[in-house]
Amino acid sequence: MPGYPPAAPPARVERSPFSSLMAFGSPLGALIASCVAERVDRKWGIAALTGLTAVCGLLYGLSFNPTAIVIFGFLVMVISSCYLPLLYSYTPELYPTEARASGMGLTYGMGRLSNMVGPLIVSFLYVGYGYISAFGYIAGCFAIVSVSVALFGPRTYKRTLEQISEGA
């Protein structure tokens, strides 16, 4: 598809040095996650961090200044590397022991399906409606995750798997 993947807005940032600067956010985010993962309620950590990803990702997509692009890109990398370990720990806690493997398999499969369909939607939006719609769609997806986890996700912090399964 022409123009895919949608990189930066029209004032494109040169890939090499700026992408490298943004990539430094991943190990920093993983380090932060390793320090706080057992100290915060995963439910609220995921809700907050996916909400921040929505905001920073949208600002990244709407930025025309190379410095702003690098800053928001860096923040997206940091935040993503913080919430993913929380998400990968939280998801299996939601299933009772006897259904954990199949529940995780279903969750993993749905994630792979979204990884297959998501780029097609982004490409359609980008080609048909411009880069703003693509970044808006992605930010909207993160916002939906944030609100869904906040409203419907059970608390797991300092609770045993038995307590979580019972809904206590």
- Mean pLDDT (the chain) is 86
CATH class of the domain at 15-162: mainly alpha
| Rounded-to-integer distance, Cα 140 and Cα 118, Å | 12
Q: Say which residue the tokens 């890939």 belong to.
A: 15
Report the percent of the chain where pLDDT is more than 90.
54
- Model's pTM, two decimal places? 0.81
Tokens of 44: 């609220």
CA 133 to chain centre: 18
Residue type, 81: S
- Locate the domains of the chain by residue range: 15-162
Report the percent of the chain where pLDDT is more than 70.
88
The count of residues in the chain is 168
User: What's the average model confidence in pLDDT over 24-28?
Assistant: 90
Q: Dihedral sign, CA of 70, 75, 78, 83? A: negative
pLDDT digit string, tens, across residues 72-122: 999 999 999 999 999 988 888 888 888 889 989 998 999 899 989 999 999
